[in-house]
Every structure is written in C-alpha cells, then in structure tokens.
Amino acid sequence: MSEPTSTLTVPDTRTQQAPGLEAEEITVSFGRHRVLDRVSIALRPGETLGLAGPSGCGKSTLARVLALLLRPSRGTVRMDGHPISRWRHRAPQRTRVALIFQQPRMAVDPRFTLEDVFTEPLRATRRPLDRAYELAEDLGLTRELFTRRPHEVSDGQLQRACVARALALEPAYLICDEMTTMLDASTQAHLVSRIEAYRERTGAAVLAISHDTELLDRWTDGNVHSWHGAVPA
Amino acid sequence: MKLRVDGLTVRFRIPGATVHAVTDASFELSEGRCLALVGESGCGKSVMAHALLGLLPANATVTGHAWLDPTATRTDSSGEALDLITAPEKTLARQVRGRRIGLIPQSPAAHLTPVRTARAHLAETLRELGRTETPDALAARAGLRPEDLDRYPHQLSGGMAQRVANALALAGDPPLIIADEPTTGLDRPLVDATMTELRRLRDEGRAVLLITHDLRAAEQVADEVAVMYAGRIVELAEAESFFTRPRHPYARGLLDALPTRAFKPVPGRPPELTRLPAGCAFQPRCPLATPLCDEQPKLNGVACHHV
C-alpha cells in the first residue's frame, strides 16, 4: 500500500496585509505514516477562512499544528511574522490562538464543573473572572448549569462552555475543528453567530474546518478552500 | 402496524428534582415506513429509544404503552402483541432485543469491543440469537467483504464500523429497526451512505425509527417526522409537508437554522427538563406566544394554539 499523503496549498493572493498565522510546507509524520505533506495555508487578521475536506484527510492534524499543539516534522509556522520555535506549553504565543474541538466531551476534564471549564483560562493567567461569566451568558449557559459536570449536560451545552473557554483570553486566531458536527442546527447557528460577532468586534481571524461544505459556504461567505488530499477510499 | 406508542412518559429521579424526559408521547409506525424523531440535543429523543428497548437506568419511571405488533395474535409468525413498557426483562432479552427490534447505535466504533475482531462480534451475535447464517453471509448482506471481518475495531474506517454495527443489528432479521443518532460525527458521504442503507431496510419492508438531530439526514429517508421539544412531540407530519411547510413555530425555527436556509438560531434556549413551565414549553422562545399558551396545547398534528 502506498503512503497516503495529502497536499494543500491555499494560494495567498491577499498582499500587503498584516502577517497573520501562516503555515509553510508543513509535513507531519507519525512513524512511517505521513499525515500532512507540504501543506501551506495563511490566515489573515479579520477574515473567516473555511477549510473543507473529507474525514481522514489531515484537517485535525493541521488544526493542531496551527494551534501550536503539535510540532510538525518539517515546515514553518509563523505567527504575526515571527517563526514558531517552541510548542505546546512552551510556546510564548500559545494564548494568542485557541482551538475548539469536535467532541467537547473529550476536550474537558470530566471532574470539572462547567464553571471550572470556562473560567480556567482566566484563573490560570490570574485575571479577573468577570469576562468568563459575560461569555457564558452570551453563549447561552444558564446559571443552574454552572455547577454541573460534563456527564450531566448535553453535547450542545458542553460545547457552549468550550467556546466560552476558547474566547476567554481574546485569542487573535481561532481554529474551529468540526466545532458543530455533534450539534443540532439551532445550536450550530447560534455558536457560529457568536464566533462571528467576536471576530467582528476584535478583528480576530477564524479558521473554520469542516467536512460540511454547505455550512462553510454560509459561515464564510464562500471563502472556502476544498481539500481532498490523497485519502485512501 | 409494527409499533404503537401511546402516552409514553419517562421521569428520572435525581437528588432534589425530577427530570421530565419524555411526556405523553404517542405515535404509530408501520412496516415499510420510516419515522424520524428530531429535536435539539437533550430533548428526550434518545431516552425514547432506550425506553422502547428496556434499557433505561434504575432511577427511571416509565408509564404509558408501547405496543410491538399491536394487532398480532399468538399464532402470528412475527410474535404476539407485546407492551414493551410492561414486558419483563427476561422477555425483552430473549425475544425482543436483536430479534424483534434491532438497534443501530450512536458511534458504531465505540459500540464494538476493542479487543475482538468484527468476525468475532458477528459470530457471537449469531450464536446467541440461534441463527445458522455464517458471519460472512451476514457481512455480505451489510455490504462488507469477508476480509474486512478480520479487522479489529480500531482498524475499521468509519464507514466499515457503521456497516459492522448494521450487520449486528440485522443478525436476528428484526422487522423493526431503531437507529439512535446513527450519523453523529460522520462526514457527509458517510451520512448519505447510512441513509441509503436505512432506505434499503425500509424498502425491504422493515419499520425504521430514526432518531437524529440532523434534519438533512432525516430528509433523505423519513416518510414521517415527529418533532420533539422538551420531552413532548410538538409536531407529527408527513415528511414532505414538514420540510416544505412546517407548522409548529419551533419546527419552523429549527428548519430556519439550517445553513442552507436562514442560518438563524431559534432565539432563547431550551428549558431545563427539571423545571418545565406549566403550559407550552416553547412559550418563552415563541414569537406567537399569548396568554393562551399558559395552557398545555394538545397534539393534533401540531401542538400549538396558534396554527
């Protein structure tokens, strides 16, 4: 069986703009398995960029590289023009980028209450917690949910808490990896509208990753790149 | 008639509160038909499926009826009429689950035992059901190749895991299929393939109850749609009229939230199932609400005082 690889180059025709979050010729291999092969993508401040592709094409791996959670085997990530040399908790820029995952249940500590979940970034950075409560309110979390733990709430309620957590430190770059795949249409429309309101208010950049091209077309006003890669059928 | 649910009500007792998970749900499902039960997460859809299969936890109280083969007599080959709510666990385990009702689960890969191959799963199920069919023949019916069966769950792609789960559900040749959020987390091509499979099962003459939050998936296969809100069925309609002319304000809001339509969320948020308002539970979010809504509307195709 040949090595499955996937390549993507999102052409950057938008010159003379702020540098943003750029990935250049990113290659990621797990053992002998190459998941990303020379992938390039650039995310500019203030824009919402959609990235569409089937499951297994490496979208989530790319999301983790862009969120500085995974050091690529080869290639460069630049944030605001500066190349990234340290990753995960060692990356000084880590709070400038936030990632929202597909499955909220796997993205939170099951021992935390929802309140713990959405206040944690502010507690960890010793900032006042007011903003976390404003966000929770804005995302439609009611007070009686604050003391519940993940197993006591629905996927939709938990994902709302995860979005509040992601926005708490006002990231300049927000990466949404299949954020609404588990959710019903109304919750999906609501979360997307909150994220777009945040982007308009702060000028942050949003990368929306999904297999759902209808959603991305609507979300990004057609600013979507389709990525098929070379995925085994 | 394959299934007649009549006044089904499910309550959970939790410390200091009662969860009104399902309230007075009634519907009918015939052979060769697919009913889609749709609604937001946490509205009670999955509880309904578990109630029908007798799989609710011990703190649940179930009232009402759910007649399987309501018109059958003792001599019918399909088995006699049985109330799934009052049937003892022994009857459900030995005669119903897998034999008269097949369950297609949410996230099929997680449904399989990680240390056993697909073939071992199928062989065990066939043995327990007393079927003479071979795993390979069963797999072929679900669109799997014999060599796929030697794989362990983590080696199966999403589509293959789905087909293994389907094969398990079909092992006992059940005339009623309950699919509980079968498309959660799947990408569009896999959703389409799963819906094609459900359509095929329906066209073979099985009754299919599809529980989903994915309206676009439901549209592909449903003959009828039941919309659930805060534990109650608020609209029950033919699929075609539902998708073109939804009547309940909540159903309209749900369809309007689709990215292919207005992409506008239903304003407000669903009520806590522990503290439901006395009248229509949708009243606080409803553009049509009037004092009339303090009284619980009756379901007559649609449960709303204003349509």
**Residue A180 with chain B: CB contacts under 8 Å:** none
Nearest Cβ partner for B187 among A140, A183, A211: A211
- In this structure, is residue B195 part of a structural domain? yes
Nearest Cβ partner for A183 among B39, B41, B259: B41
**Residue A182 with chain B: CB contacts under 8 Å:** 41, 184-185
Q: What is the value of pTM for the model shown?
A: 0.86
Using CA coordinates, name the residue in chain B closest to A156. Answer: B41
Nearest Cβ partner for A185 among B42, B254, B269: B254
pLDDT in the model for residue B187: 78
Total domain count for chain A? 1
Contact B257 A185 (CB under 8 A): yes
- In this structure, is residue B257 part of a structural domain? yes
Nearest Cβ partner for B266 among A157, A183, A186: A186
- In this structure, is residue A99 part of a structural domain? yes
Q: Which one, of B259, B239, B255, lies nearest residue B188 by Cα?
A: B259
Tens-place pLDDT, residues A48-89: 999 998 777 888 899 999 999 999 999 999 999 999 999 999
Mutate to test the interface with A, among B212, B214, B269, B282 (most CBs of A within 10 A): B269
What is the distance in angstroms between the CA of the first residue and the CA of the last residue of chain A? 12
Contact status of B286 with chain A (Cβ, < 8 Å): no
- In this structure, is residue A6 part of a structural domain? no
Total domain count for chain B? 1
Per-residue tens of pLDDT for chain B, all 307 residues: 999 999 999 999 988 889 999 999 999 999 999 999 999 877 888 899 999 999 999 999 999 999 999 988 777 666 789 999 999 999 999 999 999 999 998 877 778 999 999 999 999 999 999 999 999 999 988 888 888 899 999 888 777 888 899 899 999 999 999 999 888 777 788 888 889 999 999 999 999 999 999 999 999 999 999 999 999 999 999 999 999 999 999 999 999 999 999 999 999 888 888 889 889 999 999 999 999 999 999 999 999 999 8
- In this structure, is residue A84 part of a structural domain? yes
Place of tokens 């099929």: B108
- In this structure, is residue B254 part of a structural domain? yes
Handedness of CA B228, B229, B232, B237 (dihedral sign): negative
Residue B13, domain CATH: 3.40.50.300
* pLDDT above 70 (res A5): no
What whole-number distance in Å separates Cα of residue A64 and Cα of residue B182? 27
> Tell me, what amino acid is at B130?
G
Using CA coordinates, name the residue in chain B closest to A189. Answer: B265
Report ipTM for this prediction: 0.82
Contact B272 A142 (CB under 8 A): yes
A136: which residues sit within 8 A by CB, 6+ positions away? A114, A115, A118, A146, A160, A161, A164
Q: Strand (E) positions, B73-125? A: 82-83, 101-104
Using CA coordinates, name the residue in chain A closest to B275. Answer: A144
Contact B185 A103 (CB under 8 A): yes
Range name among A1-15, A57-71, A106-120 with the lowest pLDDT average: A1-15
**Residue A55 with chain B: CB contacts under 8 Å:** 158, 186-187, 190
Whether A195 and A162 have beta carbons less than 8 Å apart is answered as: no
CA distance B254 to chain A (A): 6
CA distance B260 to chain A (A): 7
Tens-place pLDDT, residues A144-176: 889 999 988 888 899 999 999 999 999 999 999
Structural domain harbouring A190: 21-110+169-226
- In this structure, is residue B148 part of a structural domain? no
Residue A92, domain CATH: 3.40.50.300
Question: What is the DSSP code (8-state) at residue A150?
Answer: G
- In this structure, is residue A145 part of a structural domain? no
Collapsing DSSP states into helix, strand and coil, what is residue B86? Answer: coil
Mutate to test the interface with B, among A57, A144, A181, A186 (most CBs of B within 10 A): A186
- In this structure, is residue A117 part of a structural domain? no
- In this structure, is residue B162 part of a structural domain? no
What whole-number distance in Å separates Cα of residue B81 and Cα of residue B16? 38
- In this structure, is residue B304 part of a structural domain? no
Structural domain harbouring B188: 2-100+174-294
- In this structure, is residue A10 part of a structural domain? no
A11 falls in which pLDDT band (50, 70, 90)?
low
**Residue B42 with chain A: CB contacts under 8 Å:** 153-154, 156-157
Contact B190 A215 (CB under 8 A): no
